[in-house]
Each structure stands twice: as C-alpha cells, then as structure tokens.
C-alpha cells in the first residue's frame, strides 16, 4: 500500500529509470497511479498534495530536467523523420511550456541548422517516396500531411 512521500518518490524514480518525462507528464502519471490505488480518499488527497514536492525534489536532484527532455525528444524525432510541427504538437501534448520549447528549439537549430532537411530526407527514405511525374503530387501531399512545409518538401523531393 502506497501511503507516504517516500513510496511516491520511489514510484517516480522507477518510472524515470524507464522513461524520460516532462514535469507535467510525470505529474499526470503520478496522479493516475494514485487514482488506481485501493485506499481511502483522505489518503489519496494527501498523496495528491505531495506530488509537487516530489517533482521539485526530483528536479533539484536533476533526475528530471525539462530542457534535456525536450532536446533528447527533438533529436529522436529528427532521426525518425518527423517535422517541426509534429514535434511541437507532441511536446504540447506532454505539457511542455511553449516558451521553454521555443528556446530549446532555437538552440537545437543553432547546433543543427539543416536538421529539418535531414528529417525530411529520412521521411522520404522510410516512406519510399520518389519524385516521378505520376506520383509527385501524392508525395508532396504525404509530406505536407506529415507536417513538412510545401517548399521544403518540394526541394527535398527534387534533390532525391
């Protein structure tokens, strides 16, 4: 039975050992865990109040770091062939602050200026797209649906 801060902390650390997470996502995970527990509502409400303390302590011990989380996700999604729009939407779903995301994205673009072109090339390779007269419009549509802008899509498809 989970009834104190140390057990909540243990669960959070166990989760973080398996998955990288944002603060808001971890908050949601911990709330769901507490909700599933078969304990009195009074104890549950006390546990809900402990969540911010647990997250703050994890942040102070550098077990959860929003900037590192965003940076690693951007890098992962670039390798998977995802667009900026996809990445931004994913981050907003995970509860990442828009300003924090913009700052990290700017830093990432400074370090990797052609990242979106590389990501688009990966998308083309994975989807086996090639530009021929018959399927050029279809491929452009696939890429724009995936979140790549039209000019970038057209340029990358023509270069392949």
- How many domains does the structure of the chain reveal? 3
Task: Give the helix/strand (H/E) hosting 42.
Answer: helix 41-60
pLDDT of residue 148: 92
Same domain, 53 and 22: yes
At 1 the pLDDT is 42
Q: What is the DSSP letter of 39?
A: S
Average pLDDT of the chain, as a whole number: 89
Identify the DSSP state of 146. T
**Alpha-carbon distance 93 to 116, whole Å?**
21
Residue where one domain finishes, among candidates 23, 42, 60:
60
Instruction: Catalogue the long-range contacts made by 102-105 (C-beta closer than 8 Å, 24 or more residues apart).
Output: 104/67, 104/70, 104/71, 104/74, 105/70, 105/74
* Residue-range definition of the domain harbouring residue 133: 115-159
Looking at the fold, whether 128 and 85 belong to one and the same domain comes out as no
% pLDDT > 70, the chain: 95
Give pLDDT, residue 154.
Answer: 85
Same domain, 101 and 120: no
């Amino acid at each position: 039975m989970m009834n104190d801060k140390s057990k909540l902390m243990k669960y959070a650390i166990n989760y973080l050992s398996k998955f990288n997470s944002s603060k808001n996502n971890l908050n949601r995970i911990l709330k769901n865990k507490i909700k599933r527990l078969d304990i009195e509502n009074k104890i549950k409400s006390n546990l809900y109040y402990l969540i911010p303390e647990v997250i703050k302590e994890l942040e102070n011990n550098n077990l959860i770091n929003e900037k590192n989380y965003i940076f690693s996700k951007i890098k992962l999604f670039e390798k998977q062939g995802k667009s900026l729009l996809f990445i931004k939407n994913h981050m907003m779903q995970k509860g990442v602050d828009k300003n924090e995301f913009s700052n990290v994205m700017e830093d990432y673009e400074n370090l990797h200026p052609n990242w979106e072109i590389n990501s688009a090339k990966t998308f083309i390779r994975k989807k086996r797209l090639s530009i021929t007269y018959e399927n050029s419009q279809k491929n452009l549509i696939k890429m724009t649906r995936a979140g790549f802008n039209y000019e970038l899509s057209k340029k990358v498809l023509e270069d392949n």
